[in-house]
């Protein structure tokens, strides 16, 4: 699949918008009091001397309207790294425009380019629209954990970059 021009890696100037999106996600997930992220924390995590978190953003008309915050994990069974998607959020007004899929596509492409064999995340059990969306991409629930994972052919298919 071809990359979407609306998706790019986050830049330092995006931090306030990303923090705002994380708070919107906390509200959507019915846990606004549990979110305490500050711009300073996110700035250090994304762009400090030893970045441990990475981010792609979705941009519409110059405004950041969605994000995918992720970090590397490691599978001892497969012997390679993977991506753990911590947060995927697109503002409600922009849902249905393909931005969520485009953000996941960008992460799948990261996996394919870097030889990572897993793209996984968790979803709240009540969030059936997200669950249906993830399943439509080929992700499968890990029943004991309600974790979703893209591996093998579904990951390769989603992450394929057309020449």
pLDDT one-digit tens code per residue, 16-47:
999 999 999 999 999 999 999 999 999 999 99
> What pLDDT was estimated at residue 148?
79
Write down the residue that tokens 């629930």 correspond to.
141
In this predicted structure, the answer to whether residue 75 has a pLDDT above a threshold of 90 is yes
Question: Among this protein's residues, is 134 annotated catalytic?
Answer: yes
The answer to whether the CB of 146 falls within 8 A of the CB of 125 is yes
Query: For residue 61, what are the β-bridge partners?
Result: none
105 pLDDT band, cuts 50/70/90, is very high
Contact 103/90 with Cβ under 8 angstroms?
yes
Whether this prediction's pTM lies above 0.95 is answered by: no
133 Rama class: left (phi>0) / alpha (psi -120 to 50) / beta: alpha
Structure tokens at 100: 């969520």
Average pLDDT, the chain: 94
Cα–Cα separations (whole angstroms), residue 106 to 28, 54, 58, 100: 23, 12, 10, 10
């Amino acid at each position: 699949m071809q990359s979407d021009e609306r998706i790019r890696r986050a830049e330092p100037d995006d931090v306030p918008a990303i923090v705002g999106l994380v708070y919107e996600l906390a509200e959507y997930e019915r846990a606004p009091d549990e979110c305490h992220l500050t711009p300073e924390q996110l700035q250090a995590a994304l762009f400090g001397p030893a970045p441990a978190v990475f981010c792609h953003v979705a941009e519409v008309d110059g405004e950041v309207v969605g994000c995918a915050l992720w970090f590397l994990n490691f599978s001892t069974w497969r012997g390679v790294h993977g991506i753990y998607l911590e947060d995927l959020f697109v503002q409600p007004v922009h849902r249905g425009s393909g931005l969520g899929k485009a953000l996941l596509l960008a992460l799948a492409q990261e996996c394919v380019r870097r030889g990572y064999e897993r793209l996984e995340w968790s979803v709240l059990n009540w969030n059936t629209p997200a669950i249906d969306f993830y399943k439509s991409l080929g992700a499968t629930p890990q029943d004991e954990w309600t974790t979703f994972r893209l591996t093998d052919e579904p990951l390769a298919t989603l992450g394929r970059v057309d020449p």
